[in-house]
Structure 1
Amino acid sequence: MKKLFLIGMGPGDEQLVTPKAKQAISISTDLVAYGLYLDLLGNQVNEKTLHDLPLGEEIGRARLALDLASKDKTVALISSGDIGIYAMATLVFELLDLQLQGKENHPEWLNVEIEVIPGISAMQAGSSYVGAMLGHDFCTISLSNLLTPWETIQKRIEKAGEADFVISFYNPVSKKRDWQLNTARDILLKSRPASTPVILGRQLTREDQSVKFITLGELDAKDVDMFTLVSVGNSESKHIKNGDKDWVYTPRGYSKKL
């Protein structure tokens, strides 16, 4: 069976892996992923052939998955969150596109049946934990300029700020890259108040999860690492308290009807 599942396993909690993803994993012979994701799947990986490629080997991971599937394996290529959001699905289709253009020499890849199975993204997990931060129009922006020029990223931040989107920043910092987040903060402060709610969600839904409630004016890259999702509210997002519980929500305009 020349079958390749592209699976989003969700943010980390095994209970948030969808039934469809679990079924695809159960019938796969080979699982290809970053090792941490395989660990998070627990017993679901038992009796499977595991192919653990480290961070930075994304191209190798995609090639390996296509190669295995083209050899009559049933393969699951697994990413955290949704595999179609800043993840491996786009790389697989880019490789197939190159093959169709004659820029790759793997015609066997084109005989592989591919099924994409979505997962719950980190921004959804973060929003649900704090209430309903994504209750109105929102966007996501990756701050990694490894593959995208900073000038392009900066323009997107500026336009998203002007349009008053709730913004979830992926890849906010890394060991070699720590200045982009503060620059993004300064850009957004031109279009929304310093009191705008911000959540820092680290290792969302996992055992060592932490969520902090701060404001845009307080946002600082030193408080963030590569495992943190940074979500910035729009000019109408509200941080409310009920006893010892904090909530953040973004209204859609129902107040006019209440």
Structure 2
Amino acid sequence: MIYVIGIGPGKLDHMTKEAIDCLRNSQVIIGYKTYINLIKDLIKDKEIIENGMRQEIDRCNMALEISSKGKSVALISGGDSGVYGMAGLIYELNSKRDKKERIKVVQGVTSCISAASSLGAPLMNDFCQISLSDLMTPWKQIEKRLELASQADFVICLYNPKSKGRPEHLSYAFKIMEKYKNSNTPVGIVKNAGRDNEEVYVMDFGRMNFDLCDMATMVIIGNKETYIDNGKIITPRGYKI
């Protein structure tokens, strides 16, 4: 049995009871070492297998192999395992096996939800999530998604906004969006959402500070109705008040 567990931001308070129970019921824990470190107090009596970034296929294959030998396995993702996490990959690999392993996806709190709670209520109307990482998706396709989402006036949540290998992607994204987002559109920046070292910033689109952002940052850009009140971002749902 493989439990594909989203651990949310990584703090016990922000994990679901189901996620905690499945971790405790698993014999082997497999995950990216950064996420393993976030839950080490919960799994100190378990067999732990950890590795680095871009080794997702290896982790999934190990989980399938260990599960096939009769052990219960927890495959760890940050946030929610079905949102840029391990759920899709483990299902894809399992679909190619002659003997399928049992898989259960255990939900977690994804970054945009955690960040939104710190910013106020920015996601009260239609929103979308776009990753600026072009490791898996061609940049031209990401540009098109940014263009159309902005034109449709979605609130936009940007995952993986900036890294050392692609320091300009976030500024490029803002250049695409500025055709449809005015300079007063609220922007929320949350670094390390839901963790002890969380940082929260609220500003206007026209005063965006790209230097604040890195791979551990969630950026949320409002729609035409979104506004800032007392330091919080609010996107109206449409109630007549």
Aligned to 1:136: 125
Aligned to 2:192: 203
Q: How many residues align?
A: 241
Structure 2: distance between partners of 1:36 and 1:174: 16
3-state DSSP class of the match of 2:41?
helix
Aligned to 1:228: 217
Does the CA-based 8 Å contact 2:28-2:46 persist in structure 1?
yes
The alpha carbon displacement at 1:40 in A equals: 1.2
Structure 2: distance between partners of 1:146 and 1:138: 23
3-state DSSP class of the match of 1:213?
strand
Aligned to 1:103: none
Aligned ranges 1:77-88 → 2 under 5 Å: 77-88=75-86
TM-score, reference length from structure 2: 0.97
Structure 2: distance between partners of 1:128 and 1:247: 10
Pick aligned residue for 1:252 from 226, 232, 237: 237
The alpha carbon displacement at 1:57 in A equals: 0.8
Query: Structure 2, unaligned stretches of length 5 or more?
Result: none
The alpha carbon displacement at 1:220 in A equals: 4.2
Does the CA-based 8 Å contact 1:179-1:221 persist in structure 2?
no
Structure 2: distance between partners of 1:12 and 1:219: 28
Does the CA-based 8 Å contact 2:64-2:94 persist in structure 1?
no
Tell me if 1:125 matches 2:125. no
Aligned ranges 1:7-86 → 2 under 5 Å: 7-86=5-84
Q: 1:130-175 CA distances to partner (integer Å, 9 max, x unpaired)?
A: 2111010000000011111111111100000011001110011111
The alpha carbon displacement at 1:180 in A equals: 1.4
The alpha carbon displacement at 1:218 in A equals: 2.0
Aligned to 2:172: 183
Structure 2: distance between partners of 1:17 and 1:236: 32
Query: Structure 1, unaligned stretches of length 5 or more?
Result: 100-105
Aligned to 1:102: none
Tell me if 1:219 matches 2:216. no
The alpha carbon displacement at 1:69 in A equals: 0.8
2:235 corresponds to which letter in structure 1?
T
1:167 corresponds to which letter in structure 2?
I
3-state DSSP class of the match of 1:25?
helix
2:204 corresponds to which letter in structure 1?
T
Q: 1:185-219 CA distances to partner (integer Å, 9 max, x unpaired)?
A: 01111012111111111011111110111221122
Structure 1: distance between partners of 2:212 and 2:232: 21
Q: 1:2-39 CA distances to partner (integer Å, 9 max, x unpaired)?
A: x0000001112221110001111111000001112122
Structure 2: distance between partners of 1:192 and 1:80: 30
Aligned to 2:90: 92
2:44 corresponds to which letter in structure 1?
N
Where has structure 1 moved over 4 Å in runs of 4 or more?
A: none
3-state DSSP class of the match of 2:156?
strand
Aligned ranges 1:150-189 → 2 under 5 Å: 150-189=139-178
Give the fraction of aligned pairs with identical amino acids, expressed as a percent: 38
Structure 1: distance between partners of 2:21 and 2:212: 38
